[in-house]
Amino acid sequence: MANVRAFGVVTALAAVLLVGAARPSAQLPGEPVKESGLSVTGAFEGWYPNPDGSFSVLVGYFNRNSKQTFDIPVGPNNRIEPGPTDQGQPTHFLPRRQWGVFTIRVPKDFGKNKLTWTLVSNGQTTVIPMHLDPLWLVEPLKDAALGNTPPTVKFQAAGAPLQGPPTGTSATYTATVSSPLELSVWVTDDGIRAPEARRPARLATVAWSKFRGPGTVTFATPAPALDEKTGEAKTTATFSAPGEYILRVQANDATGDGGGGFQCCWTNAHVKVTVK
């Protein structure tokens, strides 16, 4: 799995160099990270089968900037082809590498077809392919070697647990501009971790971020601590403008952000907020 992850980053870098090679601001491998001015690239992370015979394509992104964020509406500068331009991709892009932020479900007869995700940022165009090559088969729900499974996330103490990559909308809320919206999740983990993990096995971490929406979202604590007894993590989100928003909550186990390149070790979920 780690080899697949490394290859994915190289592929993303290659896409930038091929599409934006004539632009002096394109970052070369090994070049120091810049705060702004560089591009954001999609990151194809693999695919996995679903019980109904369809397949899910797992996708993240890599914003090469250390501080600059992007809001790129779905359209000519943020499109997936063929098919609908909007296939659930983010429109808000955080700095650096973000893992498994959305999935695209493709039919059982998808075969050797391909999708492409095009992003235009800071005047640079990047394009990545997404496919069902057997070499990119991943195991997001259980690591075969260690038996590690993703943390479970619930939006009610007695609610249904979620694990693994995001699928659809996991919760819905309503809010008012400038009034903090309370957000709580309950997280548990199996305690299994890779040998290289640095954090205690019992500890998971939670991080909230904006995925889509017309305004700024300010979290009181973007990474709230877990209550060690209940597993609950609380924060608030405040919205600067009315409209429809999607927030992403990510829970990581002891292997850390992105699971060190393994899909088994984190859970992402999307929630919808209607702001009046």
Residues 7 and 113 in one domain: yes
Whether residue 179 is found in the same domain as residue 111: no
CA dist., res. 174 & res. 241, Å (int): 13
Residue 104 domain-assigned (yes or no): yes
How far does CA 61 lie from the centroid of its chain?
Answer: 7
Domain edge (last residue) among 103, 136, 169 = 136
Taking CA atoms, 82 is separated from 50, 85, 86, 143, in Å, by 21, 8, 10, 32
Instruction: Determine, yes or no, domain membership for 167.
Output: yes
Query: Do 63 and 104 sit in the same domain of this protein?
Result: yes
Residue 115 belongs to some domain of the structure: yes
Q: What is the pLDDT of residues 178-226, one digit of tens each?
A: 999 999 999 998 777 666 555 555 568 999 999 999 999 999 999 999 9
Which residue among 136, 161, 188 closes a domain?
A: 136
Q: Which pTM was predicted?
A: 0.85
Residues spanned by the domain of 79: 2-136
> Are 235 and 162 members of one domain?
yes
* Number of domains observed in the structure of the chain: 2
Higher pLDDT pick, 257 / 187: 187
Q: What pLDDT shows up at residue 140?
A: 86
**Over the chain, what is the mean pLDDT?**
86
Is residue 94 located within the same domain as residue 37?
yes
Residues 59 and 116 in one domain: yes
The pLDDT score that the predictor gives to residue 242 is 98
Average pLDDT of the segment spanning 67-80 = 97
Residues 63 and 25 in one domain: yes
Summarised one tens digit per residue, pLDDT across range 156-176 is: 999 999 999 999 999 999 999
Q: Are the C-beta atoms of residues 39 and 122 closer than 8 Å to each other?
A: yes
For residue 239, pLDDT beyond 80: yes
Running DSSP on this structure, what letter comes out for residue 255? T
Range 195-198, long-range pairs (CB < 8 A, 24+ positions)? 196/255, 196/260, 197/253, 197/254, 197/255, 197/256, 197/260, 198/254, 198/256
Q: Is the pLDDT at 256 greater than 60, yes or no? A: yes
Same domain, residue pair 260 and 206: yes
